Homo-oligomer: A and B are copies of this chain.
Amino acid sequence: MPIPIDTFFLDPKFEGTLQQKIQRMISEGVLSGRFIPGAKLPSSRKLAVHLGISRITVTLAYSELVSDDYLIAKGRSGYYVSPTAPQRSRFETPKGVVTDCVDWNKAIGQRFSDQVMPEKPMDWRSYPYPFIYGQADDRIFDHSNWRQCALQALGKREFSTVTADSFERDDPELVKYIALNTLPRRGIHAKPEQILITMGAQNALWLCAHVLLNQRRMAAMENPGYPGLRVALNLARCTVASVPVDDCGMVLDALPAETDVVFTTPSHHCPTNVTMPLERRRALLELASRNDFIIVEDDYEFEMSFLNPPEPALKSLDEEGRVIYVGSFSKSLFPGLRLGYVVGSEVFIREARALRAAILRHPPGHLQRTAANFLSLGHYDALVARMGQIYRKRREIMQEAIARCGLESVGINVAGGSSFWIKTPEGVDARDLALALKDRGVLIEPGHVFFERPEDGARFFRIAYSSIESARISAGITLIAETLHSFGKR
C-alpha cells in the first residue's frame, strides 16, 4: 500500500538540514502510527520533485532511515516501512482532568525559590548595549576547535571511556592537565587525589559549604559578595557573618573570632573587583592559623589578568593546607559548559566527592574529555590570550568613557577583570536606573543583590565589558550618564 505523496510536508520550524527534515518527517510518521509497517514510500525521484529538493538528499535520508530500521529497501521495487520498525506505545491519558488536590504549601518540606539571585533577561543579545556580566561572547570563542575537540572525545576510540558511568571518578586526562598546567600558573602544587571536578563554581561552593559547615558552625563571606555563595551558605544552615570589604578586600578585623570557614575572592573581589594585596593575604593566613579556621578561595576570572600578571593564588602561600581553592572554566570558555574544580586536602576532597556522587554522580564524561582536549592542544591558552587583548581594548574605552561622563568608579582591579563597579549620585537607586536604561536598550546590573541587606547596595551597579562590542561601549556609557543626569533633575 503506497503512502500518498501529498501527505509529505517538511516542517519549516524544525532547525536542521533538508536531509534531517526528511528523516524526521518519516520517522515521526512511522512512530506516530501514520505510516504502517509494509507501507510503500514514494520513490526518491517523486518525493524530490514533490518537495522541490534534490534527489540525492532524499536518497541519503532514505539510507539513514534504513540503517535505523524505519525503512527497508527491496531491490528495485523501492522503500517500504520496515516490519520491525521502531514503535511507540501510547496510552489514553486519564479521562478525568487532573485536578491538583495536594496542598503544596504543606507538602513542600523546604522552600528554595525565595533566594535572591541576579535576574538577567534571556534575550540580552537583542539589546544594543548589553553591559551584562558572565556571558560568553560568541565573537571571541573558538568554535571550530571546540567542535573538533568534542568530535575527538566522541570518537570510537574514546567513546567508551567518556560515556561510561564512572561512578565517582573524574576524567584522568582533565585532572592531570589541571594538576600539571593550570594550577602551577597559580603557584599551586596538587596531586590528582586533591582535585575534584565540579559542575561549575556554584557547584564547587555548594559542596564546600556542605562538607565544612552545619547548623552549629559559622561561615564568613564578603559583603558585598557573590549571591550564589549566600544561597549555598543558607542551604548549609550555618550562621553567616557578613564581613565588609575595603580597597584591599575583606576587612580582617571584622571577622568574628568564632568563624569556622572564610569564603573569599582575593584575586578579583566579587563584585567590586579589588585585589587583595600580598600583605593582607599573609595576614589572613596567619589569622586562619591562629584562630584555626578554613579558607575557601574562589579564584574565578584569574585568567582575565591582561593588565598585569596575576597575583599568585592565596593557596600558593598556604603552608598548612588550610586553603581550599575553587576554579572554573565558565568565564574563560563559556558559562553553559558548567565545569569547575576544587583543590584541597585529600580528606576534604574525599567527602566532597562522596557528596557530589549522592547529588549527581559525576560531571558528564564527554564534556570533561572535550575540555581536556581543548586545554591540552593549547587552544585554551590561545583563547585566553585573545580574550585578554580584546578585553584590554574594551577596558580602555570603558575607562575613558567613564571618566569623560563623570561616573564614579570604585574598587579598580590592578590585573584586569571584566567589569566596573559604579556608585550612583546621592538619591539615585540603581534599580530605578536599570529599569529606565532597559527601555533605552542598555542593560546594567543593579548592585543590591550582592549585599546582605539589599538597601545597602541601592547606590551601586556593575557594568561588564565581556559581552559588548568595543564600538558600542562609548555610546552606552553616554546613555547611562544621560539617564543618571535626568534622575538628578527630577
Instruction: Give chain A's interface residues, CB within 8 Å of chain B.
Output: 14-16, 20, 23-24, 26-28, 30-31, 65, 68-70, 84-94, 96, 98-102, 104, 107-115, 117, 120, 122, 125, 134-136, 138, 141-143, 145-147, 150-152, 154-160, 162-167, 169, 181, 184-189, 199-200, 202-203, 206, 210-214, 217, 228, 231-232, 235-236, 238, 260, 289, 292, 294, 305, 309-310, 312, 316-322, 330, 334-338, 345, 347-348, 350-351, 353-355, 357-367, 373, 376-379, 381-382, 384-386, 389
Q: A386 to B268, alpha carbons, bound, how many Å?
A: 53
Please tell me if the beta carbons of B206 and A359 are within 8 angstroms of each other in the complex.
Answer: yes
The answer to whether B319 and A385 have CB atoms under 8 Å apart is no
B154 & A321 in contact (Cβ 8 Å cutoff): no
**Which residues of chain B come closer than 8 Å to A110, judged between CB atoms?**
210-211, 213-214, 351
Chain B residues within 8 Å of A389, by CB: 84
By the criterion CB–CB under 8 Å, are B361 and A89 in contact?
A: no
Q: Which residue, A203, A319, A363, has most C-beta atoms of chain B within 10 A? A: A319
23 A-B pairs (CB sep. < 8 Å): A27-B377, A68-B378, A86-B384, A87-B385, A88-B181, A90-B185, A94-B317, A94-B319, A98-B318, A98-B319, A101-B289, A102-B321, A107-B260, A108-B211, A109-B260, A112-B211, A163-B337, A202-B358, A231-B358, A336-B365, A338-B363, A338-B364, A360-B360
Residue in B30, B135, B150, B155 whose CB lies within 8 Å of A165: B135
Q: Which residues of B contact A24 (CB under 8 A)?
A: 376-378
Cβ contact within 8 Å between A189 and B294:
no
Given that A150-B150, A321-B99, A379-B68 are contacting pairs, would A91 and B312 also be in contact in the complex, using a CB cutoff of 8 Å?
Answer: yes
Given A84-B385, A104-B347, A112-B211, 13 more pairs with CB closer than 8 A: A16-B373, A26-B378, A65-B378, A69-B385, A98-B320, A102-B345, A108-B212, A110-B214, A113-B351, A136-B163, A162-B336, A338-B360, A364-B367
Q: How far is the CB of A385 from the nearest CB of chain B, in Å?
A: 4
Whether B113 and A141, one on each chain, are in contact in the complex, defined by CB atoms closer than 8 angstroms, is no
Which residue on chain B has the smallest CB distance to residue A117?
B357
Q: Give the distance in Å from the alpha carbon of A360 to the alpha carbon of B386 in the complex.
A: 28
Are A93 and B167 in contact, CB atoms less than 8 angstroms apart? no
Residue of B with least CB distance to A124: B164
In the bound complex, residues from chain B placing their C-beta under 8 Å from that of A359 are: 202-203, 206, 232, 235, 359
- Closest B residue to A310 by CB, please name it: B89
- CB contacts (< 8 Å) of A164 on chain B: these are 135-136, 334-336
Q: With A and B bound together, what is the CA distance between A304 and B462 in angstroms?
A: 52
Across the interface, A96 reaches (CB within 8 A) one of B14, B167, B289, B319, namely: B319
In the assembled complex, the Cα of A234 lies from the Cα of B27 at a distance in Å of 44
Q: Is the CB of A358 within 8 A of B158?
A: no
Contact B381 A113 (CB under 8 A): no
* Least CB separation from A156: chain B residue: B143
Chain B residues contacting A20 (CB-CB under 8 Å) are: 152, 377
- A98-B318, A151-B151, A157-B15 in contact; A86/B382 too (CB < 8 A)? yes
